[in-house]
């Protein structure tokens, strides 16, 4: 593997690598009864086509244009075959997929190339080498959609104009690969990587500025505060109404006890209201203070969140990306070119995952050394 590849993470993740080594060694030990790991790795798989996943395609995308999607996915298959010239120890299976709707009205349609790599292994019960029926080794190209790349946080009004945007948490950057920024998506832990390909090296999102983040968070907290206080405010009225029938059919002594309990509950409710109001006011104060005391230039900088505080726990200062700071993003509608055919890839997420099995590690090594990323980039806008 090339010296510059960042994923030789054993230099940095010592504890993880010991665990990986132990598990890999376990698979090696288990294979001895079948002639050793070399016997397993001598078995060569072949590409198999699985059924396409077209269960939930964009309903506005004409069915007579599916052939253009299929042609592009089939071209991606050729790139994966180029990346994996040696299928020793595993069996690849691939399929096409179309799920979800475009991020913009009548825009770029989402679709995928999907592949899974099943390990050959030594079955110690039968004492023979068999093909596994489950796998944690996958590789995908998500076209015109983010899929597992990042987590949805919420829908926020980041401009204070009443229009909400879907907000995502950007996964952390972990290095460079073939001159592309590499991310570690949160969906599958440390054993997965992803790169994003777009127009001329651009990405289809923008990072929230400090002002946008604080505006969005303030709107979220104010709504939660209003909902909480409204709940407390309506409690007494709802309780009185529900108790009317009970009081009418109760003896004077029972009615007195019910009213006493009711008043006690009202006092607890009022105390709860005051506590909730105080909590939300404490959360809103550092937001208001920061907006009031910082310049437009500062507020236009990217919002880097302290992971210890969480997405909604702003405490008056921002974090540092180099120390694990969190970035929030939202899709940039202006990124998408409506003049292009809807089936044209306007951005793609290349996503791969592996396990500690020797054949999966062979997949990872070949993939990262050989994948023709420039050829995938050449498919953008075509």
The confidence band for 77, taking pLDDT boundaries of 50, 70 and 90, is very high
Domain boundaries along the sequence of the chain: 9-150+185-204+332-377, 213-306
Distance CA 358, CA 40 (A): 9
Summarised one tens digit per residue, pLDDT across range 322-344 is: 888 999 999 998 999 999 999 99
Q: Which among 96, 89, 127 is positioned nearest to 111, based on CA atoms?
A: 96
Q: Which among 293, 280, 305 is positioned nearest to 209, based on CA atoms?
A: 305
Radius of gyration of the chain (CA): 28
Summarised one tens digit per residue, pLDDT across range 149-184 is: 999 999 999 999 999 999 999 999 999 999 999 999
Please report, for residues 93, 144, 161, 162, the alpha-carbon distance to residue 291 in angstroms, rounded to integers and kept in the order given. 53, 35, 17, 19
Distance CA 106, CA 343 (A): 11
Tally the residues of the chain: 382
The confidence band for 13, taking pLDDT boundaries of 50, 70 and 90, is very low
- The tokens describing 128, both together, are 């023979």
Q: Which among 282, 283, 286 is positioned nearest to 317, based on CA atoms?
A: 286
pLDDT at 21: 57
The confidence band for 148, taking pLDDT boundaries of 50, 70 and 90, is very high
* From 161-175, 255-269, 297-311, the region with the lowest mean pLDDT: 255-269
Distance CA 2, CA 176 (A): 12
Q: Which among 298, 300, 327, 103 is positioned nearest to 207, based on CA atoms?
A: 327
The confidence band for 4, taking pLDDT boundaries of 50, 70 and 90, is very low
Q: Is the separation of the CB atoms in 303 and 206 below 8 Å?
A: no
Q: How far is CA 356 from the centre of its chain?
A: 23
| DSSP-derived 3-state class of residue 154 | strand
DSSP 8-state class, residue 352: E
DSSP β-bridge partners for residue 121: 130
Enter the pTM of the model. 0.87
Distance CA 53, CA 117 (A): 17
pLDDT at 249: 80
| DSSP-derived 3-state class of residue 68 | helix
Distance CA 80, CA 73 (A): 11
pLDDT at 131: 97
Distance CA 192, CA 210 (A): 30
User: How large a percentage of the chain has pLDDT more than 90?
Assistant: 80
Mean pLDDT of 213-238: 94
Q: Which among 228, 232, 213, 230 is positioned nearest to 319, based on CA atoms?
A: 213
């Amino acid at each position: 593997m090339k010296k510059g590849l960042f994923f030789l993470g054993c230099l940095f993740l010592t504890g993880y690598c010991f665990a990986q080594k132990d598990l890999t060694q376990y698979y090696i030990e288990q294979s001895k009864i079948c002639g050793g790991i070399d016997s397993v790795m001598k078995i060569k798989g072949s590409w198999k086509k699985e059924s396409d996943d077209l269960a939930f395609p964009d309903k506005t995308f004409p069915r007579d244009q599916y052939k253009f999607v299929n042609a592009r996915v089939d071209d991606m298959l050729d790139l994966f075959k180029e990346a994996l010239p040696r299928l020793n120890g595993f069996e690849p299976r691939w399929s096409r997929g179309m799920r979800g709707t475009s991020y913009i009205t009548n825009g770029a349609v989402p679709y995928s190339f999907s592949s899974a790599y099943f390990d050959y292994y030594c079955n110690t019960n039968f004492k023979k080498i068999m093909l596994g029926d489950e796998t944690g080794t996958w590789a995908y190209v998500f076209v015109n959609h983010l899929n597992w790349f990042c987590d949805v946080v919420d829908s926020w009004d980041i401009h204070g104009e009443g229009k909400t945007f879907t907000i995502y948490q950007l996964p952390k950057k972990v290095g460079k690969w073939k001159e592309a920024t590499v991310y570690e998506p949160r969906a599958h832990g440390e054993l997965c990587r992803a790169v994003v390909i777009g127009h001329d090296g651009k990405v289809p999102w923008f990072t929230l500025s400090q002002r946008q983040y604080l505006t969005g968070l303030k709107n979220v907290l104010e709504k939660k505060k209003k909902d909480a206080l409204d709940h407390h405010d309506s409690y007494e009225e709802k309780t009185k109404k529900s108790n009317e029938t009970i009081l009418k059919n109760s003896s004077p002594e029972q009615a007195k006890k019910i009213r006493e309990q009711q008043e006690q509950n009202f006092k607890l409710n009022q105390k709860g209201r005051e506590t909730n109001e105080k909590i939300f006011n404490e959360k809103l104060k550092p937001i208001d203070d920061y907006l009031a005391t910082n310049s437009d230039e500062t507020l236009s900088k990217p919002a880097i969140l302290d992971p210890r505080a969480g997405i909604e726990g702003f405490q008056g200062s921002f974090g540092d990306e180099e120390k694990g700071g969190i970035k929030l993003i939202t899709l940039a509608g202006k990124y998408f070119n409506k003049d292009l055919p809807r089936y044209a890839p306007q951005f793609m997420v290349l996503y791969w995952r592996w396990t500690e099995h020797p054949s999966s590690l062979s997949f990872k090594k070949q993939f990262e050394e050989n994948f023709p990323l420039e050829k995938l980039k050449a498919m953008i806008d075509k």
